[in-house]
Structure 1
Amino acid sequence: MQALLVLWLLACGSLAFATPRALLVGVSELVNQPQALWLQAPRNDVMLMREALLKQGFAAPDIATLADGVPGAALPEAQAIHEALARLLAQSKSGDFVLLYFSGHGTRLRDVAKRYQEPDGLSENFLARDVRGTLGADTVLSGDLRDADFDAWIQAFLAKNVFVASVFDTCSANSMTRGSVDAPATAEGAGDDEVRWRGLRSMQLTGGNVSAPSSARATPVPVLPLPAESVPRARYVAFFASESHQITPELRLPRKARNARAQGLLTWAVVEALSRKPATWRDLFDGVLALYPPVIDELAQRFPTRELPSPVAEGNLDAPLFANSGAPASTRPVWRAQRSGDSLAIGAGLLDGLAPQLPVRVLATLDDGTVRSAPGTVAQARLGAAGLAVPAALKDVAGSAFWSVTPLTEPAAIALRVRADKPLPAGLSLDYPAAIRTAEDAANADVRWTDLGAAGHRIELLAPMFGTTVSAVVVPDTAALRRRLQALAQLKWLAQLQAYAKEGQLDGFDAALEVWSADRMLRSTPVAQAAGALPALPGLATGERLRLNVRNTSGRSLDLVVAGIDARGTLQSVYPDEPGESNRFKRGTPEQPAVKRFDLPWLDAGGDARLLVMAVPATPYSAPRLFGMASAQAEGVQAEVAQVRVRGGQPPAERSERQVFAALLRRGTGPDGGARP
């Protein structure tokens, strides 16, 4: 027992000795702008967050605060914020933890110089105390921190092996870490219960000095250069108060409490959720989401024309809280559930790998942080939702508990069934729900594996779903065998996804496969046609390449995944393209569409390759929706990152099954050398 304890302490060493530090920034006053645009709560937010961090074990000297109206804090001007970030970076060493917290106004504008262009063409900015705007055909701001700036700082911390958590209690924030029109900041409601909205149109900002001495000038701040290579975001988490087209409120919280004061809604919810002693970032965010409905319901009644905020989170949410670890606490998904009587409703379903009769573990987190759990079984599953009975052992749990569900195994019908005369090779690694199992009966096997000894391994493709003219392949070693079996298992799941959404449509969403030569598009084919009974696509001439064009005019944000399997059997993630990044595709309208083109060099190369395009509308309280296409692993490397994107808001009203778009394309080499879908 003592030896086991020593091993556990060694394994958790990076958690035990990580130094937690924080930078808290709150901007209430925009001194170069009209006072009507100022906020009240950011100064309260940073004090509330500081108190919460001290209770979490942060040392007071390791919490830097920049906020106006806070005794002892530096002023939150752009230059000072960058200097504070630079000091924090210099202090941080490998194995440390850093929290970057920002409360205040956000805005959006066009930035053609960005390396990553947003689908809606707009970049998200945080407004420092000394922000100025220059009015004209092109709005130019000074005194702002752009999403590209934040991305550079985060990359710099990650390059030092520092775990970075960011919290943005601003509007226009959900792309703040990745380099339309927002409602003006107005105060609404009675003076003793005023609601202020965080979010400005860039054209509301003035270039002149309205309320500060004329000598005050905004200092240009250079952007920190990105590392030569992008750093994988295994040690990264971010919380956002809203999607990038939404605004977020500040109001007196807790509601109806005698000691309530103006707070940002996200900040208050994070601090309240910490009182339940969450173990992971996902636990914390689930607690945040559970606190929103009463406040959002009240605001919806008071301000029916407002689009109210849906909190967003991204990154390795399954990592332990306030620690430095890229290893998730669990590799299986965890879905929030809502209790109604003796039933639980889950915001995930067939598209996420849930199925009727699937065994799951049900968890109930009590007010004091105690977690009770019991096994359960999924009773029914639709495309985007599922339900089950509350286990008998948990029926006495109080109504204030937070509920969640995690699967105990993968659905048997989805697993790749392998017929072999020996056990499956060790080291197989797949994202849920894809799985590989031994086929006991040759009649239901998808694949036949034969060990040829020194000659390698033969894989015979038996299932019609693979639809290839090559019925068998020989791979040289066990590593290649693992890669090929994993690719086939993923391919079976992709085919199942397409079958679930067969002939499904999503109003306002279009995707087209284009053929380009240099900077000129030669032809375009909708992927919905290319995935159907379309004649073979012609082969690519020298210098031609394939690109995918995705367009959203639906008026809603989308959960989008574009992924494929190349001719070598390697999983290729197209969107999101890096671990830890968002799969939320921005809202677009017919007048202002959100558009993105993706290069597909692995599809250009020919051979038997597949491409999946999958999209559903983003709905309030949706579970992480990556459709089982969670990670882009390096070959032979176990993924550390739980790539998720979740959204919260008002519980969805009863509705028919959600719209879903799915297309699975195949590109192979036919007898004429051309490509076929």
Structure 2
Amino acid sequence: MKYRRVKPWLVAGGCLLMSACSLAANLNYRALLVGVSGYPGLDAKLQLEGPRNDVTRMRGVLLQRGVPAQNIAVLADGVPGAELPTRANILGQLDRLASTAKPNDYIVLHMAGHGSQQPVSPGSPFARDEPDGLFEIFLPRDVGAWQNLPGGKGGAVQNAIFDHEIRAAVDRMTATGAFVWGIFDSCHSATLVRSAGGSEEVRMRQVSPQDLGVPATAMDRATPRAPAGTVATAATAVAPSSGAGSVAANRGGSAFFYAAQTSEPTPEMRLPAGHPKRTSHGLFSFVMMQALEGGAGMSYRQLSQYVLTRYGGMNETRVTPLFSGTALDSAVMGQDAATVRQWKLTDAKELTVGAGALADLEEGAVLAILPTPISGLSEAIGYVQVSRAELATARIEPVDYAGIPKKTDTELKVGTVGRLVQQAMKFSLSVGVDLQQCTRPCAFDAPLTRLRNAKPGEGVAGAQVQWVAPGQAADVRLTAIGDRLWLMPPTLGGQQACTLRPMALKAACDDQMERSLVSITLGSLASPGNAAQTIGRALHAASRAANLMRIASALASSPTNGQVKTSVAITSKGGRRTAYVAGQVPRLEDGDKLLVTLENTGRVSVDVTALYLDSRYGITAMFPRGLGASNRLESAASDSFELEIHDDTLGLERLAVIAVEAEKQSERADFSYLAQPSLPSETVTRGGNEADGNALFRDAGFAEYATRGGRPAAVSARTGMQVFSWQVVR
């Protein structure tokens, strides 16, 4: 497919000034945005808030990129002018798109709301497409309860939209030559873990089959029909059919983005995290739209890597988005030109720019003030720094930067342009506490009070911890269950629900909790001081691992990433060899091996560090090999190392590859000192644990990214970082 470049300073359609309006001029852009927040037929606890905000913001993103307003259909409750997202309306709009699709159409489907599963009916012609014996279903506003079919032929959830119904409509679109980008921000099942309301700001877009009245016996009968060893993924939801007509169905091209695997929930929460005016959004939709609103032109595969990396920066380890399609390496929406992130200055009562926290413009970011939208940085009048970020605007103040003295507000004329030159990063760990299920009297009260009331620098060594109020979202939630204190990721609730279908999964769920999460138990002789020290060390490790992923998300579009080609080959313990596909999250088992090859394809030398991050906050240096070994790759040079998987830790784990362009006569940039051991589940006794004497030195690894004033600074443009993710399973 060929694209015509549109200069980024031109305004096209509804595109905002200074955006990268580089949509392909030869394509006809159309969109169907579905957001189901209210469910009159479901329990009050299952109502959502975020889908209406997701589709409203997505409509704004599409308008910003030049998609004509008349080509965007919105089905959502609580959105002015939108029709209700009922089953009839959703299927009717899908049929309209499929019936009128043409070869030059580019169709965006965004569906946000609840998802669930129901058993495949006996004799269903779609049974072969459901290896787990279950249909994935999307719940429209008028969804009802389970109804048994006459004659003992199973049953169905009233008005549910089946995966094969969406798939059939998508097949019809691509069969005409249209391109389809499907974005599905809903959960398709909840078979392993579910939220228990650990945070008032986080809720799961999932409805269990039991909530819909599906009989447990029907669920149990569905499971044995699944072929042995089959692992179902969300790719079955709307991926094109696999029959003889699949070639024709795929000829238009497709990219499918799923918020979660079929065995996972997906969260919605109030975002941006910590912002006083935050609103509810699906986490998946929010992160993806931040990438669309700003950042370099990218392929769908690069966008998928960005999303996975941002999840890591938010300490989100229990939800694994999935990406599939026939054209993941093509440009997102035809945008093959780099985005210029710049905004016009305004001055009502104070100097501002028209972007804020929703566009990932945070306090501390630096912008160059330019006389025109097409000026180069050499023409900068001066520089400003964001002093306060609202949701859609940001207050800016003049600063000294790049050798140019600080200007006054009047010297920075209103109507000029502020171009982002330095993004800010936050290096703090927000921590929530939930002791509701703690055995009384709760032994964790005293040590946690000790940590919360500690003076700055005396609580959690080497970490900037922000203790949040009960019910607010947090990077880590310290949750007591009985006599154990668990370090929970933000979207895992206060108890595990290992009792869902099938019952045989309960033992596996318990084992998953033990091997993927950290817990602390207090012995009878443990003092509050020893307990506080152990909890503090665990939070210190969690903070360092989260900060490393935050750096990665800030570097996702760095030019240095294109200079170091990283390829990963997976060899199973049975000897089968496959290539790691960027943007996918493979499932690996004990004994599997990964061969990682690093190649410098650029013209300058690069210093490379590869760090393995396990699910228990362990960081292991994989490259360079050993203390003092060289990690500098000269131009056209390559090196490799092998990584063997072990199941002593389970869950989402990552390999982070950091590359820094080498400067002449400079020391090597080697981040191996960031290594830290995996956290064990501990029992604190009288003796406690010695403080980590190397912690302060290791924390210097982040000193490059923080100023003396405590305000985050940007990472050098010479630095890039790539992240590869996988699930370790048993």
TM-score by length of 2: 0.42
TM-score by length of 1: 0.46
